[in-house]
Amino acid sequence: MNAALPVLSCCDLCYRVGDAQLLQGINLGVHCGETLGIVGPNGSGKSTLLKLLANLRVPGGGEVLLHGQPLKKMSQRTIAQNLAVVEQHADTHDAIAVFDAVALGRTPWLSALSPWSAKDTAIVEQALADVDASHLRSRTWRNLSGGERQRVHIARALAQRPQILLLDEPTNHLDIQHQLAILKTVHALPVTTLIALHDLNQALSCDRLAILQRGRLMALGKPLEVLTPQRLLNTFGVQAHYLTDPFDGTQILRLSSF
């Protein structure tokens, strides 16, 4: 695979609902193996961008390219074999067992000719182990806490064995231990990752960051280069300065309102 060619990219991407222009002229590319964080205030279009990149919505203008090929010319199944999504709000009132919920991730790989096999079971077990949820295997969905559900969702996405993983605020409902554990897992995965994040300090650990504001891409680059105090003031309306961790020299953002 050509490392220089982005695995997933979009050019001049636009999306509107009624009169509201949710996204406008977005150009970005994700390179093989990198973790691209997407940050921005509420309503800046993070979730919409992820939905367009996963072909869950049809763009009003522009196009998305997967390995250089237009997404709209691919079958949904082919897309799902390459790319998995963890949505922000995905719930069910079915009494589905955790193992079965994760097993749904194998859907794009199964057909009448290639039914469920021991290999699929192994992949599901591995996915459960990756998010530290093996012990939940036979629990029922509605008995899970918010954080446990989120981990199961991520396991389902991992069971798809995707090359690209799109995560919409995956740490949202988690306690701090599991937030850090999930981020560590995500960073360690041998996949290309797009991750929408709220916590800017967590976003600093991404390889690159895309900053969205009112549906436009304001900046794209290395975290410390794009998350400047001036831009944080303009985009998020907060005052910010960097501190240095005396233990390992890492930069930490300290944020405050006026």
Residues forming contacts to other proteins in the complex (CB under 8 A) are: 51, 54-56, 75-81, 84-85, 87, 90-97, 100-101, 104-105, 107-108, 110, 112, 142-143, 153, 160
Gap between the Cα atoms of 169 and 188, Å rounded: 17
Q: Check: CB of residue 170 under 8 Å from CB of residue 186.
A: yes
Q: Check: CB of residue 151 under 8 Å from CB of residue 132.
A: yes
Nearest approach in angstroms of CB 248 to other proteins is 37
Indicate the residue among 94 and 175 with the shorter CB distance to other proteins.
94
Nearest approach in angstroms of CB 96 to other proteins is 5
Indicate the residue among 142 and 184 with the shorter CB distance to other proteins.
142
Nearest approach in angstroms of CB 38 to other proteins is 17
Indicate the residue among 97 and 181 with the shorter CB distance to other proteins.
97
Indicate the residue among 6 and 108 with the shorter CB distance to other proteins.
108
Nearest approach in angstroms of CB 181 to other proteins is 23
Gap between the Cα atoms of 89 and 169, Å rounded: 10
Gap between the Cα atoms of 104 and 90, Å rounded: 13
Q: What is the SS3 string spanning 201-254?
A: HHHCCCCEEEEEECCEEEEEECHHHHCCHHHHHHHHCCEEEEEECCCCCCEEEE
